[in-house]
């Protein structure tokens, strides 16, 4: 990389840090090309961006952002994963690390809060943003369904009573 490419990379990474809510730092020493390709495929499918970055350039991009707490984690061969869904990046990185010991989750940051590896693993266990939205919609819809059922019950009971009277009158 020449100087202009480095400046462009730092600027683009700084723009990413300004726009995202979650960053996960991983150590990827010894991953084969096939393993990295599989990891990138999984990340892409979950809406997560994954980038191997030179530590010095990533440190420069972190200056002045809310993620500057992850700078000490940038040692050795590292890669960064980020997404708008706070859980997605952590979930994919932790799941891949379970099946491949060469990928190590070092830590990350959620907003201005720096998380260690255990914090990222705990975050990965949370349901995704889409799941939380579906659960919330289900909670909102359940009382409405119950109210409709309660309101319809008396009408059904009245119809059965009238039907019973009609049958009795027909029989007599």
Do residues 65 and 143 share a domain?
no
Domain range for 76 is 3-126
pLDDT of residue 146: 63
Do residues 61 and 114 share a domain?
yes
Q: Which residues of the chain have pLDDT under 70?
A: 128-129, 139, 141-158, 161, 172
Do residues 163 and 85 share a domain?
no
Do residues 75 and 24 share a domain?
yes
For residue 108, the cross-strand partners are: 24, 115
Residues 6+ apart with CB under 8 A from 20: 82, 83, 84
Do residues 73 and 156 share a domain?
no
- Measured CA to CA, the distance from residue 116 to residue 106 in angstroms comes to 7
Do residues 47 and 113 share a domain?
yes
Q: Whole-model pTM?
A: 0.70
Please return the burial class of 57, using the count of CB atoms within 10 Å of its CB with bins 0-12, 13-18 and 19+. middle
H helices of 28-128, where? 33-45, 55-62, 86-99, 117-124
Do residues 81 and 121 share a domain?
yes
């Amino acid at each position: 990389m020449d100087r202009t490419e480095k400046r462009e990379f730092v600027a683009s990474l700084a723009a990413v840090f300004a726009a995202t809510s979650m960053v996960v730092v991983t150590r990827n020493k010894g991953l084969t090309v096939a393993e990295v390709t599989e990891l990138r495929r999984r990340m892409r499918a979950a809406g997560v961006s994954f980038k191997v970055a030179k530590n010095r350039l990533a440190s420069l991009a972190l200056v002045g952002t809310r993620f500057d707490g992850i700078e000490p984690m940038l040692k050795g061969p590292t890669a960064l994963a980020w997404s708008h869904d706070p859980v997605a990046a952590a979930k994919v990185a932790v799941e891949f690390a379970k099946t491949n010991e060469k990928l190590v989750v070092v830590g990350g940051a959620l907003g201005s809060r720096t998380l260690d590896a255990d914090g990222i693993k705990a975050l990965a266990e949370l349901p995704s943003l889409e799941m939380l939205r579906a659960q919330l919609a289900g909670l909102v819809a359940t009382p409405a369904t119950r109210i409709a059922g309660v309101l319809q019950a008396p009408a059904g009971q009245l119809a059965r009573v009238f039907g019973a009277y009609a049958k009795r009158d027909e029989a007599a």
